[in-house]
Amino acid sequence: MSSRPTRRLFLLRTIAAGIAVLARRVAGVLTGRPHVPEAAAQEPTSVVPATSVTHGPFLGHLTPSSARVWARCSEPGRYSLVAHGPGAELVSVAEAKRENDDTIVWDLSGLEPSTRYRYEIRQEARTLFSAADASFTTPPPQTTPSVLRLVFGSCAREEEGDRAVWRRMAALNPHAVVLLGDCPYIDSTDLTVQRTRYGEFAAVTEFAELLRSRPLYATWDDHDFGANDTNGLLPGKEFAQQAFIEYHANPSYGDGREGVYTKFRMGGVEVFLLDTRYFAATAPSPIADGPTLLGTAQWEWLRDGLRASDAPFKLLASGLIWNGAVRPGKPDHWDSYPEEREAIFRFLGEERISGVVLMGGDIHRTRVLRYDTRELVGYPLTELVTSPIHAGVIVEANTPHPALIHDSGEPHAFLFMTVDTTVSPPTLYARFENAAGRELYSLTLDSAELTAA
């Protein structure tokens, strides 16, 4: 049989098939419906991507008997955090919601002090996240003598060259990580922008690995609040607050309505993380002449917290530095609110509050200052300034101050702190270092020298 008719028939069928495909594509353009190949058309059209954990998990507020864990999921829904301890399995169920950008915080209770727990994230019977380093160890009771390790930092970006500092922090095996603002840089109060930037920051691998087994505590400064050198008059600050809450697992956030101030106690130290943005310049000071920096509710919270604290050391930490020695023309510091600052110092003296140490960030310098506050407070106040985690040092911020005892401009800088209550009197050792582990400056304070005579 000749092959010519078969070849002719094949060509005709091929041309006809091509015309049919072209016709369907043209029809799709005209109707607005995409062309679907026949093979694909036979597949189910309702396939939903598998739910996953897109960010985290990160450890949040940790106590001898409880833990908070944060994550972001790809879909809204109910998820379980399962913690495995010695002879016990604890489960916390929480819900990720679209209105919270699918972020979620689990609260675990009933934990034992000084105990290691492994954890995983599940949805029904399916495990969404499990890792060898997904674990935490609860601290001992506060009254138990201990040696506590903390790292503090401010001003961080996501660049590849900045990430070694997170690895260095992890190598020190701190019991907690404390960030004092500008982590990350957002410079907008638009809620979508805020969420996007927090998500990009949380996606940094080295940062995520650090927080998988160590609790994060944080406050904000100007760039994550919304814009450079801004105060509480900034429009849209409520959206910045919403995003901050969505992407952290702090113990609390302000008074539950406004602000993000919070505090936590570990071992021999209580850390008061102040909010020096949300209330700044919004009203007269409740305790002094001039405008307020903290606002009435935050001042009352700080006053009551300091009165009640029996920690040997009490850190008053804010994004702003406590003095005015910054680059020329910059008004963004506690020195712009001198009456309120002095009233706080006077309160410390009148109430005989011992063990207070000041902390700040923001200015892209490592600095230590010791103020002669013996008349007001009863002892000299020391301020520890740590910045930046990223590479951007500001040379102009090396300005003189009569209380200054150390200044250095070093990229990738942070503060490593050890609080030892196994000795008498308890001691606080502060070591500033860079990502390579090189010491920039160190000092030791003991609780006896931070007590009114």
According to CATH, the superfamily of the domain at 48-138 is Immunoglobulins (2.60.40.10)
Give the pLDDT of residue 207.
99
**pLDDT grade, residue 306 (50/70/90)?**
very high
What tokens were used for 134? Answer: 């997904």
Give the pLDDT of residue 51.
81
Average pLDDT over every residue of 44-54: 61
Q: Which of 162-171, 305-314, 320-329 has the lowest mean pLDDT?
A: 320-329
**Res 46 pLDDT > 70:** no
**Res 24 pLDDT > 60:** no
410 CB-near residues (< 8 Å, 6+ apart): 366, 393, 434, 440
**pLDDT grade, residue 38 (50/70/90)?**
very low
Mean pLDDT of the chain: 91
142-450 belongs to CATH 3.60.21.70:
yes
Residue-wise pLDDT for 356-372, tens only, equals 999 999 999 999 999 99
Residue-wise pLDDT for 122-153, tens only, equals 999 999 999 999 999 999 999 899 999 999 99
Q: How many CB atoms lie within 10 A of CB 200?
A: 14
Q: How many CB atoms lie within 10 A of CB 451?
A: 15
What tokens were used for 43? Answer: 């597949």
**pLDDT grade, residue 47 (50/70/90)?**
very low
Quick check: bond before 425 cis, omega within 30? Answer: yes
Residue-wise pLDDT for 316-353, tens only, equals 999 999 999 998 888 999 999 999 999 999 999 999 99
Q: What angle do CA 248, 319, 203 make, to 5 degrees?
A: 35
What tokens were used for 81? Answer: 């955090």
What tokens were used for 191? Answer: 């809620």
**pLDDT grade, residue 7 (50/70/90)?**
very low
pTM over 0.85: yes
Top pLDDT among 3 and 249 is at: 249
Give the pLDDT of residue 327.
87
Domain residue ranges of the chain, discontinuous segments joined by +: 48-138, 142-450
Residue 57: name the closest of 69, 74, 68 by CA: 69
Give the pLDDT of residue 192.
99
**pLDDT grade, residue 62 (50/70/90)?**
very high
Secondary structure (H, E, C), the chain: CCCHHHHHHHHHHHHHHHHHHHHHHHHHHHHCCCCCCHHHHCCCCCCCCCCCEEEEEEEEEECCCEEEEEEEECCCEEEEEEEEECCEEEEEEEEECHHHCCEEEEEEECCCCCCEEEEEEEECCEEEECCCCCEEECCCCCCCCCEEEEEEECCCCCCHHHCHHHHHHHHCCCCEEEECCCCCCCCCCCHHHHHHHHHHHHCCHHHHHHHCCCCEEECCCHHHHCCCCCCCCCCCHHHHHHHHHHCCCCCCCCCCCCCCCEEEEECCEEEEECCCCCCCCCCECCCCCCECCCCHHHHHHHHHHHHHCCCCEEEEECCCCCCCCCCCCCCCCHHHCHHHHHHHHHHHHHCCCCCEEEEECCCCCEEEEEECCCCCCCCCEEEEECCCCCCCCCHHHCCCCCCEEEEECCCCEEEEEEEECCCCCCEEEEEEEECCCCEEEEEEEEHHHHCCC
